[in-house]
Structure 1
Amino acid sequence: MPLIVKDHTWTQNHNTVYICVPLKGVKTANVHVICTDEYLKVSFPPFLFEVFLFGTINEEKSEARIGNGVAVFTLQKRRDELWEQLFTNIDKEKQKQVREQAIVKVQEKEAEKSKAKTTRIQQEKKYALETMMKLENEERDRIQKMKNEECARATVELDFWREKQRKIAEDNENLQKLQGAGNKPVYQKTERANVTPAINTANTTSGQRSIKQKPKDLPAPRSAGCIKISFTPRVFPTALRESRVPEEEEWLKKQAEARRAVDTDLAELDDLREEERNPDWLKEKGDKLFMAGNFQAAVNAYNLGIKLNRKIPALFSNRAACHLKLRNLHKAIEDSSQALELLTPAVAANAAARLKAHVRRGTAFCELQLYVEGLLDYQAALQIDPQNEALRTDTDKIREIIQGTTTPSSS
């Protein structure tokens, strides 16, 4: 059975109620809150605070602050009035109905959040695709414009070169006509045809001059150009949103640190053999003792392993399984919670370990008749392995017990 918290305090004015609940040294991460317009529940195993409010509140405007060992709730009243007391006296059937309505309301809110998240992701993907297509079109138009400009410039240069060649050919033709018309050669020097006299006396004795004509001028080389090419940037506002690479790297880093985090200051190490100083060896020994049915000896092995290294989640999870067999239900809940805290971040590599820890903690809750808390753990395990039919069957049974359609079987 859970330990009911009764040392809470509360104050009020005409429009607000303030409730202060001590957390009994429980970590903030282990506190679960359910609040509706007429019901408030704070679960921090093994403790439980539950109140059926005297009047109705506006849950949307209410808020909770958890920290420094207390949970402070500021509840906004729907009507400005002073309550005679915090609790209202209703029968068990009405209490059961209010609890069920609160669970249904919480599930509906979670479904709405999931739907809104899916819609937002689709909109962001659509925006990313439209942006990428727009950038690609702009880049394609820019490149085409550069090609057209380069083509036009090359055409102009080609026309200029052809005109120049035509004029050179005309000048040479005129020069040849003039040379053939008279006895004396006519020398003509133009800008486009460089014809100069050359004296060759190497093979003559009379010093006769001969004419040597230079070759025709060639067109100037085309001016060099440089075309800059840039790749289209890909825009993803939600880059790596679905990727688990950072979480997996963080998990591997935590595992490596856990292997190195051995407490060498324990006095018991002096009396232990070499293999007994290895947490992994102690875990395997505890597993063998558990399979043999010697649960207390397995607990002792896990205890020593945890003293050596408190960062290995399997030691806590397996010790929780032993406590379930020994009916130490509160200890099973604590060990399962500690294992789940160490099994972060949630990645595929530790999915099987998280499933076992959720099932063990959920089983302990159900044995304590805390079926709502147990259902939450079984649902979390079912999300990890949706194809597990046995797990789905157990979840449905717990839900039927909460709804009152099935009587819980005594263990």
Structure 2
Amino acid sequence: MPLLVSDYSWTQTDSTVYINVPLKGAKARNVDIVCTEEYLKVSFPPYLFESFLFEPVDEDRSSAKVGNGVALISLPKKTNKHWQQLMINTNDKEKNKEIRERALLRYQEKLSSESRQKAEKQQKEKKYALETMMKLEKEERESIQKMKDTEREKTTAELEAWQQKTEEDKLNQRGNPNQQRAGKERREIKPSVNLDQKKVNSEAKSNKKKADLPPPRISGNIQITFTPRVFPTALRESRVAEEEEWLNKQAEARRTVNSELVEELKDLTEEQRNPDWLKDKGDKCFASGDYLGAVNAYSLAIRLNRKIPALYSNRAACHLKLKNLHKAIEDASQALDLLTPPVAANAAARARASVRRGSAFCQLQLYTE
């Protein structure tokens, strides 16, 4: 049952009633105000202020301001006269209930009407925008069509002028036999000159290319020497053998690819069959929150190459996010098995896998493990 607010205050003028309701620490977004011409309600759970007004007010011009711990409500009067009191004196619960229900029904109808008007306004704006867009597109199509017609007429006129000029040239050549004979001789002589000239140019280019060629290179061998690996720790404390074993395992893991599965996935591109590419794809999916996509990418990469510990460790992180805790433990354990022997180069990876496995155990309440 709500707690009724009794420490409110109110003042009035001949035209307006002002009501000040303390909000008792409530935030502005949690305050709900309902106002009609005969009823006012200010609700901020668990408190409630309710007023059955003494005279009718203009609900359309009423306003409310919420801030600084109070709600200030302005109610313009329908008739300019002095009120003897803010609320009517009645203890009739049935009458109060009737006024309350009537006011709430009217308020809901008002909200529904405003929502309907807003939807109609949005519909009109969309319709106007669509008509304007269609009009602009129509004008643009007409402009393009006009440009096409102009270009077509221009091209047709040029073609007709060229045809007319060609016919005039033919008529002129037929009327002067000596000019035809001279033209024929020129056509007969010109190809021979062109052929001779082309032959000379071709020979000149061939000689130039031969002259520009550099002499052949002298063959020989290049000697390469490698410096020995140096470890920061003293020799009696160093783990040279473990370091070498770990490097060999890494190199072997890079070379290990399931050839049978590659044949099955021949429909994919060469890039999509690369475990490193799939790992990067899984990392991007994980960063964007697509944990199922990341699991799929890591799983396909693991099917192609089961020797890369980072794939198991990263998939364990995805299973942690998806609450697949037993799978997370299994993948983290597999990653730790591959991260052997323990050396400085894989210390960070072993720490990540251990933390992920430990987190899964904790969420399963297996604290000893």
TM-score normalised by L of structure 1: 0.44
Per residue, is there more helix in 1 or in 2?
Answer: 2
Report which structure shows greater RCO (CA 8 Å, sep ≥6): 1
